[in-house]
Structure 1
Amino acid sequence: MKGIVLAGGKGSRLYPATKVISKQLLPVYDKPLIYYPLSVLLLAGIRDILIISDPISLAQYKMLLGSGEKWGIRFTYAIQEYPRGLAEAFIIGEEFIGQSDVCLVLGDNVFYGNITDLMRKALSLKNSGAVVFGYPVQNPSDFGVIELDRSGNILSIEEKPENPKSKFAVPGLYLYNHDVVEIAKGIQPSARGELEITAVNDEYLKQGRLSCQLLGRGFAWLDTGTPKGLLRASQFVETVQERQGMYIAALEEIAWRQGFIKTEELIELGEQLRMTDYGKYLMSLVEGKSD
């Protein structure tokens, strides 16, 4: 399976902070926001990742992430000239996806929990189709909403409905087989002129090939699209890291634990950041001070 991080959008709800910088480059406590969705892909064992962003920001992502070699993975980069909807990611990434399954994660989503087991279970549900996730929220009208029957089968998906049929929002994490490219090409733009991801999911639903994995207690999904959301996400990360002594979305650690890089490579990465708490944490992993 390959991964796509869609790091586009204007970030207008975060203006003026995002006037000259992509929102996914803003810090969530001690790391750039994009580290968090990237951590989901790495924890799922995905090592071939496409980063999609606007022409100006893409150069900054290349400077931040490079080729991915230092983490034992591979980054490819592609331009989205203008935000035309989430589903456009599959059209832009057609050559990258090829005949592979693909996981799309939005660049401004922060997930916390046992991602490895979650993704393993989701993959078992996919069956050459697609999997979306459901997360209970108090304000479902602000999101795509999924309706399920008592057996967990999907009845409907609606984009920001005025009268939501459930409390389960669809977060920015999706699994698809390679058919998603042709499906994305076949959908029509919405009233706001975008290729909606909900339209892609609805097509899989019509074909009887869409499953849902619920994120219950033990998982956190944090929206960082507003200043308040960004602040709360930073406070969440700071609280967990300070209390547990274990870092969230430390890509070097994940790559090491996944076997993507060797211990000597982790030491080298930690040495490069030895003047920071982040670097000291990486070194403590090798020294056995952090489990």
Structure 2
Amino acid sequence: MKALVLSGGAGTRLRPITHTSAKQPVPVANKPVLFYGLEAIAEAGVVDVGIIVGDTADEIREAVGDGSQFGLRVTYIRQHAPLGLAHAVLIAREFLGEDDFVMYLGDNFIVGGITPLVEEFRSERPDAQILLTHVPNPTCFGVAELDAEGKVVALEEKPEFPKSDLALVGVFLFGPAVHEAVRAIGPSDRGELEISHAVQWLIDRERDVRSTIISGYWKDTGNVTDMLEVNRSVLERIEPAIEGTVTDDCEIIGRVRIEAGAEVRGSRIVGPVVIGAGTVIKDAYIGPFTAVAEGCLIEDCEIEYSIVLSGASLTGARRVEASLIGRHVTVTPAPRNRAAHRLVLGDHSQAQISA
């Protein structure tokens, strides 16, 4: 069995962060979100991985390398434009051959991994197996319709009037029959080859398409809100460790990991929090569910429920919360303007001015 990991999207929902970098290496709890997926694939016993890359290929290559850090063998497959998930399968045909494969969206996060799903697929070997989860906003996702026996009968991509609240999760398992399906379908209204259309093609031809409804935690980290939520979820399970320097005038409460080379002086940190190597925290408050990457400076300010990327500096910024701060960003107080009112009033005017 092989794996196909999609890391070629433009990441428009994470802009402006993704104007200058790929979304998959953006860290969650100081580890790139892409790495969680690669680790899950390795834990499932899959070794050969094809990674679909686009304009940010160099950044993905630099982060992942040859895959040996995960126990994987990685092949990079260039997609000249984000033309849909089924298009990714189409261009990976030579790499995939006739092997079964798991397709994993590189910006998705699933607690508990995929090992049981892969083992079940290897044992049963249907033509396709999709993962579903109940969501409150199904119009934002691909949606599955099941019959009374729980069999998949139809899929719709972001329907205006969804027939269920079961959304497609960004992990699919396929046998070689999917290659015929992706060749047979045409582009959708948005100009992409949709994987939901390929699966529907298999359903219409009465191929063996199965579904699994997952009850565990799943998130598509495509926007800032979901990225912060995944960060919160991961930080809740971190192991506390103080490997950096913490002075006696500091207060450390709860699950806090301070990596080697970090310095904390005159500050209060309330976990769960992770502080990256080489970061300096001075006269500051770091509140729950905050991840500060390596080489940052946080001084004379408060920050909570946020992600701060490498090399960023926040000084005198009072309180920051629910924020995603990019690499090498500088945040400082705005200069104070002299309070004054400038008026041009005609004859017999009446004006009320706040004190």
TM-score band (shorter)? 0.7 to 0.9
* 1:241 matches 2:275: no
CA distance in 1, matches of 2:98, 2:79: 22
CA distance in 2, matches of 1:21, 1:153: 41
Q: CA deviation at 1:114?
A: 5.4
Q: CA deviation at 1:159?
A: 0.8
8 Å contact kept, 1:189–1:195: yes
Task: Deviation per CA, 1:233-259: give whole Å up to 9, x if none.
Answer: 11111112248x9xxxxxxxxxxxxxx
CA distance in 1, matches of 2:69, 2:223: 32
CA distance in 1, matches of 2:47, 2:232: 29
CA distance in 1, matches of 2:9, 2:177: 25
In structure 2, the CA distance between the partners of 1:242 and 1:72, relative to structure 1 (3 Å rule), is: closer
CA distance in 1, matches of 2:223, 2:114: 24
Equivalent AA in structure 1 for residue 192 of structure 2: E
CA distance in 2, matches of 1:278, 1:182: 49
CA distance in 1, matches of 2:44, 2:88: 20
Equivalent AA in structure 2 for residue 155 of structure 1: V
8 Å contact kept, 2:38–2:70: no
8 Å contact kept, 2:41–2:114: no
* 1:221 matches 2:218: yes
CA distance in 2, matches of 1:186, 1:275: 55
Provide TM-score, normalisation by structure 2: 0.66
Tell me the residue number matched to 2:194: 196
CA distance in 1, matches of 2:179, 2:189: 21
Q: Which runs of 5+ in 2 are unaligned?
A: 242-258, 263-273, 278-355
Determine what percentage of the aligned residue pairs are the same residue. 37
Residues 112-123 of structure 1 mapped to structure 2, 5 A cutoff: 112-113=111-112, 115-123=114-122
Tell me the residue number matched to 2:49: 49
- Give the strand-richer structure, 1 or 2: 2
Q: CA deviation at 1:113?
A: 2.2
8 Å contact kept, 1:125–1:211: no
Range that drifts further, 42-51 or 117-126 = 117-126
For the pair shown, the structure with the greater C-alpha radius of gyration is 2
The one of 207, 213, 231 aligned to 2:228 = 231
Task: Deviation per CA, 1:146-176: give whole Å up to 9, x if none.
Answer: 1112322112111111111111101110011
- Measured on the aligned residues, the alpha-carbon RMSD in Å equals 2.2
The one of 149, 159, 162 aligned to 1:161 = 159
Q: CA deviation at 1:275?
A: 5.8
Q: Which runs of 5+ in 1 are unaligned?
A: 246-272, 281-291
Equivalent AA in structure 2 for residue 231 of structure 1: L
Q: CA deviation at 1:89?
A: 1.0
* 1:140 matches 2:138: yes
Residues 65-84 of structure 1 mapped to structure 2, 5 A cutoff: 65-84=64-83
Equivalent AA in structure 2 for residue 212 of structure 1: S
Provide TM-score, normalisation by structure 1: 0.79
1:166 alignment partner, SS class: coil
Q: Which aligned segments of 4 or more residues in structure 1 are displaced greater than 6 angstroms?
A: 276-280
Aligned residues: 248
Task: Deviation per CA, 1:71-94: give whole Å up to 9, x if none.
Answer: 332000011111101111111111
Task: Deviation per CA, 1:43-101: give whole Å up to 9, x if none.
Answer: 221110011111x4212222111112343320000111111011111111111001101
Equivalent AA in structure 1 for residue 188 of structure 2: S
Tell me the residue number matched to 1:259: none
CA distance in 1, matches of 2:114, 2:155: 24
Residues 69-108 of structure 1 mapped to structure 2, 5 A cutoff: 69-108=68-107
CA distance in 1, matches of 2:113, 2:96: 26
- Give the helix-richer structure, 1 or 2: 1
Tell me the residue number matched to 2:35: 35
1:51 alignment partner, SS class: strand
8 Å contact kept, 1:24–1:32: yes
1:34 alignment partner, SS class: helix
Q: Which has the higher contact order (CA 8 A, sep 6+)?
A: 1
Residues 9-20 of structure 1 mapped to structure 2, 5 A cutoff: 9-20=9-20
